[in-house]
Amino acid sequence: MSADKHLRSWQERFEMAEAMQPLLGKLYRNQGVEVMLYGKPLLSASTIEVIKAHRLVRRHVGEKLRLRESFPFVEALSKLAVKHCKVDIGKLAVNYWKNHSDASEIQAYMTRELEGAMNYGDDTPARDVVLYGFGRIGRLLARLMIERTGQSNKLCLRAIVLRGGKKGDLEKRASLLRRDSVHGAFNGSVEVDEENNAIIANGTYIQVIYANSPDEVDYTKYGINDALVVDNTGIWKDENGLGLHLKSKGSSKVLLTAPAKGAIKNVVYGVNDSDILDTDTIVSAASCTTNAITPILKAVNDKYGIENGHVETIHSYTNDQNLIDNYHKADRRGRSAPLNMVITETGAAKAVSKALPALEGKLTGNAIRVPTPNVSMAIISLNLNGETDRDEMNDYLKHMALQSDLQYQIDFTESTEIVSNDLVGSRYAGVVDSQATIADGKRAILYVWYDNEFGYSCQVVGVMQKMLGLTTLSLPSQK
């Protein structure tokens, strides 16, 4: 009987998750509503992923959240005219069941809690986006934008710009979008329109443009106007170079997916994106490491104050290194990346101060490139102004990951078995490994995982939305 009981329970959960999925999809496509479960996005989640997300709730609140308890909230949400927001049904459901024993008031409760999102953002026009370059970050940005395809989508990928244009290039680019050795197969279909030089992915028509310089392109020829150009080539990093994009017809703003030089604002989404003004035409999304550590450093500094510290980055190798020993202009990077740990420089620690001026001159940093293709770790060693211990520090960071304005940047794990491969595909800027935390008195050492490709790309999308005025509400509001 016990075995039958477990099987029936599993089948009930599986069927409930299956019933939830079409509602989740329609909410996003038709209303721009992203449904979360204690920060975990359910958009495009598989049936098993929906079930696993529910199991994780126990870690956060100490109690189970059953699918039969959360499903009525998704149903209620689907009946409301909420638009362009993130809704955490996990938090809403847990709060509701604390004070109610039946589902009779769920619809009224949801109407009250989500009142501010009714028809939110309907008057905001859709905006065009161009990806200048189609490498590791460019293709992940494409995936993230394509997964949002639907009538409510206002962040529209219209074109990619490439060098070259040799025979077979278009099919090869499409193939790299279809398959990825790290992030797996593209979730959908990718077709090639050779005649019109375009890629069609899940119904999104993406014009492929070949050019040798940013100022050569006339985007208006392709019906693209007032576009945000996202430069992920890393070739130009100052105002003069990036300003070439603004000379192209049809472009109006530029976002660099790398640290910028000069007076260009380096923005870490969630920390200083409020610094972006409507008049800003060139902005940088900083580096993956800066994005990983800055939200956590802000959280720690806000509570304890940081006197000084050091950041050691254990970073997966990148395309800038050599597969086998060969000439490289930088020190050590010419040695085989898959065979060596390579000490190299990083400007991430110093770059933190551009997003968080309170830490100006307080941090040093270094990096070790290691033979893994993705997912990195930052070891943050801090001298604090206030005293703490391991449990207090972990409790505070857990709270920041679940209940603060940084909840979409900071994740938190209590697993004793987690390794780098488990973090591939993480959408967070950084994940605190609480089992490795060391804290005593005014000294703390934090270990922070981050998917230096996908997690960073999610941060870039946030900056893109901010630059284009495509704001979303996050509900329930943090208290």
CA distances in angstroms from 400 to 63, 303, 427, listed in the order given: 19, 11, 16
Mean of the per-residue pLDDT values of the chain: 94
Q: Name the pLDDT band for 479 (thresholds 50, 70, 90).
A: low
Using CA atoms of 469, 288, 37, 57 in order, give the dihedral in degrees to the nearest 10. Answer: -150
* 270 close to 406: Cβ distance less than 8 angstroms: yes
* Whole-angstrom distance, CA of residue 163 vs CA of residue 228: 19
Q: Looking at the DSSP assignment, which residues form a beta bridge with residue 209?
A: 161
pLDDT tens figures, 185-233: 999 999 999 999 999 999 999 999 999 999 999 999 999 999 999 999 9
Q: How confident is the model at residue 5, as a pLDDT? A: 87
**Per-position DSSP letters for 210-265, written without gaps between them:** E-SSGGG-BGGGGT--SEEEEE-S-S--SHHHHGGGGGSBTEEEEEESSPPPTT-E
Q: How confident is the model at residue 279, as a pLDDT? A: 96
Which residues are catalytically annotated? 288
Whether pLDDT at 157 is above 70: yes
* Whole-angstrom distance, CA of residue 367 vs CA of residue 345: 6
User: Quick one: CA dihedral 373, 375, 376, 377, positive or negative?
Assistant: negative
Q: Name the pLDDT band for 44 (thresholds 50, 70, 90).
A: confident
If 0-12 CB within 10 Å is exposed, 13-18 middle and 19+ buried, where does residue 242 land? Answer: buried
Whether pLDDT at 2 is above 80: no
Average pLDDT for 361-367: 95
Whether pLDDT at 4 is above 90: no
User: pTM to 2 decimals?
Assistant: 0.95
Q: How many CB atoms lie within 10 A of CB 143?
A: 19
Average pLDDT for 368-389: 98
